[in-house]
């Protein structure tokens, strides 16, 4: 903590100096921060009794992200893990990772689950905003929402078409020096009467491997991607909207099957991934009817992966499908007190099939998993300042594996209660208690066969067993669902007119504690003597999943100041977690992190700034036995963008930046690879 005290003091001094030198502020109309997914409705952040943050289009402009780590990896409590390859990146919130966090794209669950491979299949350039809801959220979002939910919302036609016009378009070109990645993207939209349409396409070829801050290549990381989206909307009457959309994503290139590891001559594959998602959405909110605010969604996701191992021609395929439906209605009732009820149903099925050289692949067994759920949540204003939120969800699930394993079924209740106190318009204090759960995934329960292999060797003198070098999956068909009881305390406060008319300072902080029963922990044992074969006199390695008990706790805080001439922000993440009952340390707990950002707007159309990220090192006492320590790091970025509002360049945005400007070599835990070194970014876009 000593380093954090020093950093915080330095930051305070810098802010004081900037404030002292600040010029008189002009009036700045800063938008209200709104969330759309966190409570299944649209509301101001200050009306949300949860830890949440929103990343909007301005951050996309500042960061010019190629990956989601670059876009949202600095948000309090959130780490994007999986290494620098965008195709491997996954979500970690507070130490809950992968399937312990729900990812939703335009409302649809993204459940693709294949070890060491990511599930972000949407180019960041088409995002309207990304929301991060931290903490237990199973009451509204079901299995997997132990750590929280990440919502990705793509742009609509209305985001492209300027007021008073019927058509609009955006074109964008970009360059990322680390790996020689180019971006070409375009969006067109049109509106005629009740109809609207949006078409988007993006192509990102990368010709070289990514290089880390030590000057070493991330071998086999030159992966190309392309993404296309079509949206069609119909509003036949006021308050009624139908929307159909289809999105296709593809990436291809040479990479190891474990995309969070270095490539090698004997493991790397030619990978081809195709992802398609189709959704049909109906929203009905008739004016003057307080009982109906209906949102229904039918969606289908299909992810296909082909991996052709270069060394010996081994050919793996994986096909993962999700079919889902949900309906949510919000009713405003008068039951002596005004009550807002959100209630609905959700049904979805995941199905996976995999082959190796044309036959069923034991490592990814064929299986299906189906969920049926009903939920309700009520908000009751106990007074003008105090609001009670209480909710309950019931999930029933069925697992149908092949390969000789028996079917399984189960059910879980997920309750939640929260209090929100608004002592003033710009202040909120909230407290919540919840229970969340996650059913074990198909690949956690039923994998078999070889995980990986290394050269074998004798374990002693003559007559001693020989280590084969083969690490095999051991199925765990009796894994119990994870259950997390969580409590959280938080506060938000906004100060207007700090240094001048129209500026704003937003402060937020929260603490949390999660007691997890049956936490699913994957254990890789290099030499497992329980596999001893007395006939062959050999020992294998093993990989298996187990249930343990754990606790996770920590602190998150942020401060953001914005005005006409300058801006600054800070976010702090301090996560902790341990196994209970002698289970040892958890390997999923991220590093402590402090992020400081600041900049100037010397002209109304020009913004320049810098960002510093400070990571705490982890030693052997912080990590599970046998884990590699992680050094601390200080990483600095600079950025600038120019968006003239008048003249011949009106509608253009020119952006430039340098990430990791000091070319620092560092690794973000729990990644297996170092982060990218110095990276130059350029982009130009034009709106028509």
Q: How far apart are CA 394 and CA 439, in angstroms?
A: 13
Contact 172, 185 (CB under 8 A): yes
Write out the two tokens for 653: 């945005």
Residue appearing with tokens 């906004």: 494
Helix (H/G/I), strand (E/B), else coil: 627: coil
Query: Which residue in 419, 418, 336 sits closest to 385, CA to CA?
Result: 419
In which element (H, E) is residue 15 found?
helix 2-21
Contact present, 318 and 304 (Cβ < 8 Å): yes
Question: Which of 248, 205, 243 is CA-nearest to residue 229?
Answer: 248
In sequence order, the 6+-apart residues with CB closer than 8 A to the CB of 424 are none
Residue 538 lies in a domain: no
Pair 416, 481: CB distance under 8 Å:
no
pLDDT of residue 365: 83
Residue 568 belongs to some domain of the structure: yes
Instruction: From 685, 686, 688, 682, select the one nearest 66 (Cα to Cα).
Output: 682
Q: How far apart are CA 136 and CA 625, in angstroms?
A: 28
Is the confidence at residue 29, as pLDDT, over 90?
Answer: no
CATH of the domain at 156: 2.40.170.20
Is the pLDDT at 78 greater than 90, yes or no?
Answer: yes
Answer yes or no: is pLDDT of 17 > 50: no
- The tally of CA atoms less than 13 A away on the side-chain side of residue 95 is 30
Alpha helices, H only, 493-588: none
Instruction: Report which of residues 83 and 18 the model is more confident about.
Output: 83
Digit-coded pLDDT (tens) for 453-503: 788 899 888 888 999 988 888 888 889 999 999 999 999 999 998 888 889
Name residues whose C-beta falls within 8 Å of residue 189's C-beta, 6 or more positions apart in sequence. Answer: 157, 159, 160, 161, 167, 168, 169, 196, 197, 198, 199
Report pTM: 0.90
Per the structure block, which two tokens stand in for 484? 């997390």
- For tokens 């649809």, name the residue: 108
Tell whether omega for the bond before 466 is within 30 degrees of 0, i.e. cis. no
* Residue 361 belongs to some domain of the structure: yes
Contacts of 563 (CB under 8 A, 6+ apart): 22, 25, 28, 498, 499, 500, 502, 503, 504
Q: Could you give the 3-state DSSP secondary structure of residue 3? A: helix
pLDDT at site 32: 67
* Non-local CB neighbours of 254 within 8 Å, separated by 6+ positions: 220, 222, 223, 263, 268, 269, 270, 271, 310
- What would the mean pLDDT of 126-140 be, rounded to a whole number? 93
Tell me 618's DSSP state: B
Cβ-Cβ contacts under 8 Å for 235 (sequence gap 6 or more): 194, 196, 241, 242
Q: Tokens at residue 618, please?
A: 């982890």
Structure tokens at 635: 């990483």
Task: Please compute the mean of the pLDDT values over residues 336-353 and round it to a whole number.
Answer: 94
Listing DSSP states for 41-105 in one string gives: S-EEGGG--SEEEEEEHHHHHHH--SSHHHHHTTSTTEEEES-S-GGG-EEEETTEEGGGEEEEE
Label the pairing between strands 101-105 and 148-154: parallel
Q: Are 123 and 227 in contact (CB under 8 A)?
A: yes
Q: What share of the chain is helix, strand, coil (3-state, %, to 5)?
A: 10, 55, 35
Q: Which of 22-26, 29-33, 169-173 has the lowest mean pLDDT?
A: 22-26
pLDDT value, residue 26: 45
Q: Assess whether pLDDT exceeds 70 at residue 547.
A: yes
CB 516 within 8 A of CB 484: yes
* CA 350 remoteness from chain centre: 20
Question: Between residues 477 and 68, which one has the greater pLDDT?
Answer: 68
DSSP 446: S
Ramachandran region, residue 429 (left: φ > 0; alpha: ψ -120 to 50; beta: rest) = beta
Size (the chain), residues: 688
The rounded mean pLDDT for the chain is 90
The beta strands (E) that lie in 269-314 are given as 269-284, 294-309
Q: What is the pLDDT of residue 31?
A: 61
State which residues form the domain around 160.
Answer: 20-447+482-517+564-682
Query: Minimal CA–CA distance to 423: which of 339, 492, 504?
Result: 492
Q: What is the distance, to the nearest Å, from the Cα of residue 402 to the centroid of all Cα atoms in its chain?
A: 31
Please report whether residue 71 resides in a domain: yes
Structural domains in the chain (count) = 1
Tally the C-alpha atoms within 13 A of residue 2's C-alpha that lie toward its C-beta. Answer: 0
Interval 623-682: pLDDT, tens: 887 778 999 999 999 999 999 988 888 889 999 999 999 999 999 998 889 999 999 999
Return the pLDDT at 16.
37
Per-residue pLDDT tens digits for 371-388: 999 999 999 999 999 999
Residue recorded with tokens 């289908």: 300
State the first-to-last Cα distance of the chain, in angstroms, to the nearest integer.
Answer: 51
pLDDT score of 551: 95
Cβ–Cβ under 8 Å, residues 225 and 246: no
| Of 448 and 154, the one with more pLDDT | 154
Residue partners of 169: CB distance under 8 A and separation at least 6: 160, 186, 187, 188, 189, 687, 688
Report residue 504 as tokens.
Answer: 């704003």
Distances (CA, A) of 308 to 118, 250, 317, 596: 18, 16, 9, 43
pLDDT of residue 589: 93
Q: Please name the residue that has the structure tokens 């990814």.
A: 364
Nearest 5°: the CA angle 201, 116, 92 is 85
The pLDDT assigned to 260 comes to: 86
The answer to whether residue 532 sits within a structural domain is: no
Residue 544 · residue 550 · CB < 8 Å: no
pLDDT given for residue 636 in this prediction:
98
What are the pLDDT digits (tens) for 272-312?
Answer: 999 999 999 999 999 989 999 999 999 999 999 999 999 99
Rounded percentage of the chain residues whose pLDDT exceeds 70? 95
Average the pLDDT over each of 4-13, 403-412, 413-422 and give the range with the smallest value: 4-13
For residue 123, pLDDT over 60 is answered with yes
| Distance in angstroms (rounded) separating the CA atoms of residues 520 and 478 | 11
Whether residue 104 lies inside any domain: the answer is yes
Distance CA 52, CA 354 (A): 37
For residue 296, tell me if it sits in a domain.
yes
In angstroms, what is the C-alpha Rg of the chain? 25
Residue 452 domain-assigned? no
Dihedral through CA 599, CA 603, CA 604, CA 605, nearest 10? -90
């Amino acid at each position: 903590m000593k380093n954090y005290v020093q950093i915080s003091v330095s930051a305070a001094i810098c802010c004081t100096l900037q404030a002292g030198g600040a010029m008189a502020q002009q009036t700045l109309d800063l938008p209200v921060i709104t969330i759309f997914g966190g409570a299944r409705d649209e509301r101001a952040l200050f009306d949300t009794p949860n830890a949440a943050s929103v990343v909007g289009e301005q951050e996309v402009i500042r960061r010019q992200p190629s990956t989601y780590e670059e876009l949202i990896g600095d948000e309090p409590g959130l780490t994007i893990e999986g290494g620098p390859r965008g195709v491997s990146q996954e979500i970690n919130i507070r130490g809950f990772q992968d399937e312990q966090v729900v990812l939703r794209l335009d409302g649809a669950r993204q459940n693709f689950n294949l070890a060491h491979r990511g599930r972000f299949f949407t180019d960041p350039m088409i995002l309207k905003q990304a929301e991060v809801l931290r903490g237990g959220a199973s009451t509204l979002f079901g299995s997997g929402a132990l750590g929280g939910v990440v919502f990705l919302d793509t742009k609509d036609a209305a985001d492209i078409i300027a007021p008073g016009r019927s058509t609009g378009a955006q074109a964008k070109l970009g360059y990322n020096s680390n790996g020689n990645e180019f971006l070409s993207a375009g969006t067109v939209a049109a509106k005629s009467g009740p109809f609207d349409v949006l078409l988007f396409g993006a192509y990102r070829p990368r010709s070289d491997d990514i290089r880390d801050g030590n000057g070493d290549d991330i071998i086999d990381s030159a992966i190309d991607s392309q993404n296309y989206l079509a949206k069609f909307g119909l509003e036949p009457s006021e308050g009624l909207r139908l929307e159909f959309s289809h999105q296709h994503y593809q990436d291809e290139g040479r990479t190891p099957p474990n995309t969070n590891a270095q490539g090698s001559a004997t493991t790397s594959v030619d990978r081809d991934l195709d992802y398609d998602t189709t959704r049909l959405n109906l929203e009905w909110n008739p004016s003057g009817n307080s009982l109906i605010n209906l949102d229904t969604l039918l969606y289908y996701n299909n992810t296909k992966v082909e991996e052709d191992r270069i060394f010996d021609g081994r050919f793996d395929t994986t096909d993962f499908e999700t079919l889902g439906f949900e309906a949510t209605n919000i009713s405003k009732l008068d039951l002596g007190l005004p009550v807002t009820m959100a209630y609905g149903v959700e049904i979805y099925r995941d199905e996976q099939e995999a082959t190796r050289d044309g036959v069923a692949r034991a490592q990814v067994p064929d299986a299906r998993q189906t969920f049926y759920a009903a939920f309700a949540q009520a908000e009751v204003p106990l007074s003008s300042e105090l609001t009670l939120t209480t909710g309950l969800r019931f999930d029933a699930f069925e697992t149908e594996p092949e390969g000789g394993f028996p079917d399984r079924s189960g059910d879980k209740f997920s309750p939640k209660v929260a209090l929100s106190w608004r002592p003033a318009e710009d202040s909120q204090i909230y407290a919540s208690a919840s229970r969340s759960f996650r059913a074990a995934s198909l690949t956690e329960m039923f994998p078999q066969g070889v995980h990986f292999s290394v050269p074998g060797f004798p374990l002693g003198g003559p007559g001693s067993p020989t280590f084969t070098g083969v690490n095999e999956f051991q199925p765990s068909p009796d894994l119990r669902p994870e259950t997390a009881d969580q409590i959280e305390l938080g506060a938000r406060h906004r100060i207007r007119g700090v240094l001048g008319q129209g500026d704003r300072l937003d402060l937020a902080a929260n603490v949390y504690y999660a007691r997890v029963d049956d936490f699913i922990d994957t254990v890789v044992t290099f030499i497992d003597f329980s596999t001893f074969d007395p006939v062959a006199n050999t020992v294998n390695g093993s990989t298996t999943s187990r249930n343990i008990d754990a606790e996770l706790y920590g602190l998150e805080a942020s401060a953001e100041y914005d005005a006409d001439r300058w801006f600054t922000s800070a976010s702090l993440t301090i996560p902790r977690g341990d196994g209970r009952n002698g289970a040892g340390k958890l390997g999923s707990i991220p590093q402590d992190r402090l992020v400081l950002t600041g900049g100037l707007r010397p002209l109304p159309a020009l913004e320049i700034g810098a960002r510093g990220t400070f990571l705490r090192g982890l030693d052997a006492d912080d990590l599970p036995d046998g884990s590699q320590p992680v050094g601390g790091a200080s990483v600095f970025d600079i950025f600038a963008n120019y968006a003239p509002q008048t003249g011949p360049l009106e509608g253009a945005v020119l952006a430039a930046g340098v990430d990791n400007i000091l070319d620092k070599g560092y690794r973000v835990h729990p990644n297996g690879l170092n982060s990218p070194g110095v990276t130059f970014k350029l982009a130009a876009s034009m709106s028509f």
